[in-house]
Amino acid sequence: MNDREIIRLKQFRQLKREIRGSEEHLIVGIDVAKQKHNAFFGTATGKTLLKRLVFENNKEGFEKLLRGRNRGRSSYFHFHGK
């Protein structure tokens, strides 16, 4: 591993420690597709807040996703994707 990868790994592990068991973080899982996406909102303790939110792949769809966040108790999103 190079220095950059080591730093990123340390940052990931720190974030993981902060989130685990927290009621303050909103976990969002998104199944990405070409036209419509499906999202799940839950807590780090395993509580489901919103089982399924379908939103389109456009500005209005992403605004719907952000409104769905208000159903949780999150102060920010942490996006992670490939």
The answer to whether residue 81 sits within a structural domain is no
Rounded to an integer, the average pLDDT of 50-60 is 91
Rounded to an integer, the average pLDDT of 55-71 is 85
The answer to whether residue 82 sits within a structural domain is no
The answer to whether residue 56 sits within a structural domain is yes
The answer to whether residue 41 sits within a structural domain is yes
The answer to whether residue 31 sits within a structural domain is yes
Total tally of structural domains belonging to the chain: 1
Residue span of the structural domain in which 23 resides: 3-69
Give 56's strand partners: 36
Question: Per residue in 13-47, pLDDT tens?
Answer: 998 888 887 878 888 899 999 999 999 988 888 88
The answer to whether residue 26 sits within a structural domain is yes
3-state secondary structure the chain: CCHHHHHHHHHHHHHHHHHCCCCCCEEEEEECCCCEEEEEEEECCCCEEEEEEEEECCHHHHHHHHHHHCCCCCCCCCCCCC
The answer to whether residue 74 sits within a structural domain is no
pLDDT of 22: 81
Cα 28 to chain centroid, rounded: 3
What is this structure's pTM?
0.62
Q: Which amino acid is at 45?
A: T
